[in-house]
Amino acid sequence: MATSPVVPDKRPQEELNRAVIFLGPPGAGKGTQAKKLAAKYSVPHLSTGDMLREHVARGTPLGVKAKPIMERGELVSDSLVLKIVAERIERPDCSHGFVFDGFPRTVAQAQYLGELLKQHGYRRPVVIHLLIDTALILRRITGRRTCKMGGEIYNLFERPPKVEGRCDDDGGELWQRPDDREEIVGPRLRAYEKQTEPLVAYYRRLGLLHDVDASKSVEEVEQQIWRTLHQARGKH
Ligand code: ADP
Ligand code: AMP
């Protein structure tokens, strides 16, 4: 009998043991869903955006280089991002798989990742492609607020916190990313269309891409992702 694809309340018994990649435009819900999936499997949520913002906040040489590029809504160089990712997946907490959010973002990054996963003996990744109308994106991006302490993601229009400016979970201050201002959304979407969207065809050709309608509620999208992952694991 087929196993039920309903999102389980607790950690599934099987390990993830592979990379899951969230692909989609800014604001599609990659971070929201990647966090949930990673928590479910107790594997790391690897957001290159978060890692870069941490470098910026700490003022490391890498952060100093990345800051103006991120503020303009452009992509930082492949070499910078690949260095961070290659180091990160070497850590022992990645041994049972991991969930990428915002990586890869160029064909060169995807090719490098493919090699890296092979070298480490992982199976082929599952790529979840979040589809969303441009009209919804602006609302999601300009309304986004993130907890400074735990990183929980809110939306002033769709998922507001109970107390204005404070995280429901830990009371942390909610923060707006500088690149979430309306005037930076255009450049970010153009970067997505030009540099990242070709990955849709790239992964589809490899048979690894799975489309999910990201315009639905967080819970419905989570359910669709769960079902998709369940089916994909049986196939590749
Ligand atoms: P991404 O990582 O793709 O840029 P996020 O996960 O940060 O996107 O989500 C962008 C914004 O949209 C956040 O404010 C988040 O709370 C909100 N959001 C995410 N998924 C949904 C959804 N399914 N319905 C409504 N709002 C959502
Ligand atoms: P995100 O948090 O994923 O929206 O990313 C924020 C910003 O970080 C992007 O607009 C880029 O400037 C940079 N960034 C994050 N991930 C990557 C990546 N994989 N390649 C290049 N730039 C990235």
Q: State yes or no: pLDDT of 4 exceeds 60.
A: no
pLDDT at position 2 is: 46
Tens of pLDDT, residue by residue over 182-218, are 999 999 999 999 999 999 999 999 999 999 999 999 9
Q: How far apart are CA 16 and CA 38, in angstroms?
A: 9
Tell which one of 54, 75, 111 to mutate to probe ligand 2, the residue whose CB is within 8 A of the most ligand atoms: 75
Question: Which atom, in ligand 1's list, is nearest to the CA of 159?
Answer: 16
Residue nearest atom 15 in ligand 2 by C-alpha distance:
49
C-alpha–C-alpha distance, residues 41 and 233, integer Å: 14
Q: How far are the Cα atoms of 6, 83, 224 from residue 2, in angstroms, in the given order?
A: 12, 41, 17
Tell how far the Cα of 129 is from the centroid of ligand 1, in angstroms. Answer: 14
* Structure confidence by residue, pLDDT tens digits, 24-37: 999 999 999 999 99
User: Does residue 91 have an active-site annotation?
Assistant: no
Domain boundaries, the chain: 19-43+96-143+196-235
What is the CATH T-level fold of the domain 19-43+96-143+196-235, as seen in this structure?
A: Rossmann fold (3.40.50)
pLDDT tens figures, 106-156: 999 999 999 999 999 999 999 999 999 988 999 999 999 999 999 999 999
